[in-house]
């Protein structure tokens, strides 16, 4: 798929309300939740020079990283959301069902990501 084909497909997809609003909402949820997570966890992580990266229900905190790792999970979520949106907009012309499903997936996976970052922020504050 070349740039002009993707751009035409994206322009057609942006005209559909479901694709447009699901993309806007999923990106907004990602940015707002990630911003709140970073604003909550970063001061404490810098002060302690540690970030509890993983919690296991059997062993408790089992992985501690430096404070720079605070940006890892929000970054992964943002990259996945953007890739999902690029796929949705690129394939709209050839497969509208795939595009709508991909846009819905970005909305659906926002809930586990938000709950994960919420509980990770509780663990680190």
Q: How far is CA 35 from the centre of its chain?
A: 11
Share of the chain above pLDDT 90, in %: 72
Distance CA 89, CA 7 (A): 8
What is the pLDDT at residue 78?
Answer: 97
Mean pLDDT, the chain, rounded, equals 91
Asked whether the predicted pLDDT for residue 88 surpasses 80, the reply is yes
Residues 6+ apart with CB under 8 A from 109: 80
pTM, two decimals, is 0.88
Specify the pLDDT at position 118: 94
Q: How confident is the model at residue 11 (pLDDT cuts 50, 70, 90)?
A: very high
**What value does the mean pLDDT take over residues 101-115?**
95
User: Tell me: the pLDDT tens digits for 47-80?
Assistant: 988 888 777 766 766 778 888 899 999 999 999 9
Give the span between the Cα atoms of 90 and 5, in whole angstroms. 8
pLDDT confidence band for 33 (50 / 70 / 90): very high
């Amino acid at each position: 798929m070349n740039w002009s084909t993707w751009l035409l497909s994206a322009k057609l997809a942006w005209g559909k309300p479901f694709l447009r609003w699901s993309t806007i909402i999923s990106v907004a949820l990602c940015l707002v939740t990630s911003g709140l997570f970073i604003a909550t966890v970063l001061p404490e992580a810098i002060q302690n020079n540690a970030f509890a990266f993983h919690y296991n229900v059997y062993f408790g905190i089992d992985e501690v990283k430096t404070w720079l790792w605070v940006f890892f999970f929000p970054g992964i979520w943002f990259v996945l959301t953007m890739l999902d949106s690029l796929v949705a907009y690129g394939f709209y012309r050839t497969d509208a069902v795939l595009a709508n499903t991909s846009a819905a997936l970005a909305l659906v996976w926002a809930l586990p990501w938000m709950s994960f970052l919420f509980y990770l922020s509780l663990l680190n504050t």
